[in-house]
């Protein structure tokens, strides 16, 4: 039990929308998408520098896979980092494009741990996966456009109920709102600076 509680203290879960919810859709070469990924990389790197070592991804298309790949890239310089792939059920990728499935399986092969929260698809399996990740982390990094009726919105609200530390990144403005753990009010909004060398 001590091992799990220790991991939770150094763990960050990811949540965010699928590509269809972004202005650029599935075009990852669009400037907005490129900039969003750069801001995510800066934020995940900052969390790692603050002592976060375990990162939990639900492995859905869009934000989940982008964040998982960023963690794998950071692991090359910091092997202490661990990627935990938390899947809602077997075969969640079965209807994706061939290229998306290839990326998914490549990331899964490199993950430190793969957890199936459920075995078969059910109506609530995505929600169960999201709650599992929040329960097993102390921080939630969310790419959230404010849509109330969304899996991301439900995950953010669940993390707020549990008073987890939150970083909410607006996908269009790329502003990050930080809410410390055990606090009800949002503490600060700040744009993340992207240095020219990163572009």
Among residues 47, 54, 67, the alpha carbon closest in space to that of 107 is found at 67
Q: Where are the domains of the chain?
A: 27-120+133-182
Categorize the per-residue pLDDT at 183 as very low, low, confident or very high, splitting at 50, 70 and 90. low
Q: Residue 186: is its pLDDT beyond 60? A: no
Question: What's the rounded mean pLDDT across residues 72-97?
Answer: 95
- Element spanning 5, H or E: helix 2-9
Q: Backbone phi, then psi, for 15, in 5-degree steps?
A: -145, 150
- Element spanning 141, H or E: strand 139-143
**DSSP secondary structure letter of residue 51:** T
Are β-strands 175-179 and 188-191 bridged in parallel, bridged antiparallel, or unpaired?
antiparallel
Name every residue whose Cβ is closer than 8 Å to that of residue 93 and which is 6 or more positions away in sequence.
59, 100, 101, 104, 105
**pLDDT value, residue 197:** 33
- The owner of tokens 């002592």 is 51
Q: Both ends of the chain: CA-CA distance in Å?
A: 43
Alpha helix ranges (H) inside 31-135: 31-49, 63-75, 98-110, 125-135
- Regarding the domain delimited by 27-120+133-182, which CATH topology (the fold level of the hierarchy) does it fall under? Rossmann fold (3.40.50)
**pLDDT value, residue 24:** 93
Among residues 61, 84, 58, the alpha carbon closest in space to that of 71 is found at 84
Q: How far is CA 44 from the centre of its chain?
A: 9
Q: Residue 63: is its pLDDT beyond 70? A: yes
**pLDDT value, residue 107:** 98
Categorize the per-residue pLDDT at 6 as very low, low, confident or very high, splitting at 50, 70 and 90. low
- Predicted confidence (pLDDT) per residue in 166-178, tens digit: 999 999 999 999 9
**pLDDT value, residue 9:** 87
Categorize the per-residue pLDDT at 76 as very low, low, confident or very high, splitting at 50, 70 and 90. very high
pTM of the predicted structure, to 2 decimals: 0.88
Encoding tokens for residue 46? 């900052």
- Predicted confidence (pLDDT) per residue in 14-40, tens digit: 999 999 999 999 999 999 999 999 999
Encoding tokens for residue 92? 């969640």
């Amino acid at each position: 039990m001590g091992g799990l509680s220790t991991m939770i203290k150094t763990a960050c879960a990811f949540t965010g929308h699928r590509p269809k919810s972004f202005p650029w859709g599935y075009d990852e070469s669009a400037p907005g998408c490129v900039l969003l990924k750069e801001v995510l990389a800066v934020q995940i790197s900052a969390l790692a520098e603050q002592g976060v070592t375990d990162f939990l991804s639900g492995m859905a298309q869009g934000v989940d896979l982008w964040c998982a790949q960023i963690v794998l890239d950071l692991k090359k310089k910091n092997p202490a980092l661990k990627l935990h792939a938390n899947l809602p059920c077997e075969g969640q990728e079965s209807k994706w494009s061939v290229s998306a499935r290839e990326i998914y399986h490549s990331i899964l092969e490199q993950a430190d741990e793969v957890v199936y929260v459920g075995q078969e698809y059910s109506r609530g399996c995505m929600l169960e996966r999201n709650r599992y990740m929040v329960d097993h982390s102390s921080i939630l990094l969310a790419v959230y456009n404010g849509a109330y009726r969304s899996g991301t919105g439900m995950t953010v609200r669940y993390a707020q109920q549990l008073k987890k530390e939150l970083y909410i990144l607006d996908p269009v403005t790329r502003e990050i709102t930080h809410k410390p753990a055990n606090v009800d009010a949002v503490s600060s909004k700040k744009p993340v600076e992207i240095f020219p060398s990163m572009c």
